[in-house]
Amino acid sequence: MRSSSILLAISAAVGAVAHQVELPPNVPRNIDEFRAKHPYKRSEGCGKRPIVQIRASQNDTDDVADDFLAGLHKANHGGTLYLPKDELYVIGKPLDLTFLDDVQIHWNGEVKFTNDTPYWQEHAFAHPFQNSLMFWKWGGKDVKLYGDGVLNGNGQRWWNEFAGLEILDPSNTYLRPILFYGENLTNFAMEGIHQKDSPCWTNFIVTSKNVSFTDVMCTAESNNATALPKNSDFFDSLNIEDLTVERVWVNVGDDCFSPKSNATNVHVDTMYCNGTHGQSMGSLGQYKGEKSFVQDVVIENVWLLNGQHGARLKTWAGPDVGYGFINNVTFRNFWQANNEYSAFIDSCYFNINSSTCAEYPSQMNITNILFENFSGTTSGKYGTAVARLTCSTNPNAVCENIEFRNFTVTSPCAAEGEKPLIICDGIKGGIGMDCVPADSDEAKAALKKKCKAPLAEIPPPF
């Protein structure tokens, strides 16, 4: 499920064997086929820029962090730092790169962080949101990273040592660095780069505006079956405005895309997500007394394979949570295979039991959400239920105008002619399709119809 080759193993749950899944043509199965389908072409620049080069590392322990920092200082205010192909640049200490102004990195080589876990836990930069650590921090204006090189988090040792822990557990003291962290960035672009094996989240962008990721590849693949990548989201954010993500390949162990508190004007177009938790809004409302919101989002042309859920909205409940809203979010043109729920609203996020959630329901409004042109099949984990929408029972939390259009997702567990089921609770008004509450006989029966299906492969040419 974490390999770079996408084999659509429809969930091996108990029950009957389902029918073979018909897959869409020309879906890339690995990063090479992704690059063949979506060749990286450098966007045009403006005129010639002075080129700066630094020495490369001689081996995996040859730290060139000071050289990297000096090179960016020299290239700042109009220049380009050039990292040639087949060269390695090892970073072994935290770097504060928040001084940047009109600088580019032509990134064809590999930048790799050391895996000295005790050192980084003691010396990495920190952010209070979910106890985040960062190898480095980028900031400034007019910053562009482009090329066909690699940014390598060297995450295997981190995954091995973190195995069995939870990032959100208050008792967790084993913290792992984020691969790319940006704060107070204006006009930032990353193009073409392969982000590889992050110990934790891959990108975390904070208090920034006009940010883009284009033709980027993101993978986190373990060589240890007992220590898979965890929390290795492709994208997370706080306080971001005007974000564009286009043509991205993601094969990680957590959210494919997951803006958190205060994201506005977001557009995602063409993402391939394998082994992820889905295209998520949030989680939101985690911190007591804090207002969180996500609004004006379009996510379209997405392939979601071998993961947890498809389109997902997740908000916190409990006695000490925040408040806010998710508004005007469109999920459009989603094709799925081997995901649990193709559309999922979770208003009791992260290990909140039902009694606590009932006593202290979420304070987040969810309004004007559109799920449009959804096709494919679920995994069968939840029987013939293909979507579940659970809104807060809080009388002050509005949940309305949730709409489904052209939603044709099927379940491998359904008998011939049997319609898949949508479960919904707490939504004001209809959703444009039939849906039933979770405590109904129909929902209970659907959830019992678990099944398994034969292995399906994406046929050539992709």
Tokens 């444009």 found at: 432
pLDDT value of residue 43:
75
Per-residue pLDDT reduced to its tens digit, 313-337: 999 999 999 999 999 999 999 999 8
273 and 245 in contact (C-beta within 8 Å)?
Answer: no
pLDDT value of residue 20:
45
Among residues 277, 309, 346, 425, the one annotated as catalytic is 277
Tokens 């889905």 found at: 278
What does the domain layout of the chain look like in residue ranges?
1-38+234-462
Per-residue pLDDT reduced to its tens digit, 387-425: 999 999 999 999 999 999 999 999 999 999 999 999 999
Beta strands in 192-235 (DSSP E): 194-196, 203-214, 217-219
Per-residue pLDDT reduced to its tens digit, 345-369: 999 998 889 999 999 999 999 999 9
pLDDT value of residue 25:
76
Flag whether pLDDT at 70 surpasses 60.
yes
For residue 380, the number of C-alpha atoms closer than 13 Å in the C-beta half-sphere is 24
Please tell me the distance from the alpha carbon of residue 334 to that of residue 284, in angstroms, as a whole number: 23
Active site residue 309: no
Flag whether pLDDT at 21 surpasses 80.
no
Tell which residue, 242, 245, 249, has the closest CA to residue 214. 245
CATH number of the structural domain 1-38+234-462: 2.160.20.10
CB atoms within 10 A of CB 245: 22
Please tell me the distance from the alpha carbon of residue 112 to that of residue 132, in angstroms, as a whole number: 20
Q: Measured in Å, how far apart are the chain's first and last C-alpha atoms?
A: 18
Per-residue pLDDT reduced to its tens digit, 81-132: 999 999 999 999 999 999 999 999 999 999 999 999 999 999 999 999 999 9
Among residues 233, 254, 346, 425, the one annotated as catalytic is 254
Please tell me the distance from the alpha carbon of residue 177 to that of residue 126, in angstroms, as a whole number: 9
Distances (CA, A) of 80 to 47, 105, 142, 195: 12, 5, 12, 20
pTM for the whole thing?
Answer: 0.94
454 and 20 in contact (C-beta within 8 Å)?
Answer: yes
Distances (CA, A) of 283 to 263, 294, 314: 12, 10, 5
- Percentage of the chain surpassing pLDDT 70? 92
Which of the four pLDDT bands, split at 50, 70 and 90, describes residue 12? very low
Question: Which class for 47: exposed (0-12), middle (13-18), buried (19 or more C-beta within 10 A)?
Answer: exposed
Active site residue 127: no
Please tell me the distance from the alpha carbon of residue 337 to that of residue 361, in angstroms, as a whole number: 32
SS3 35: helix
Please tell me the distance from the alpha carbon of residue 407 to that of residue 228, in angstroms, as a whole number: 33
SS3 177: strand
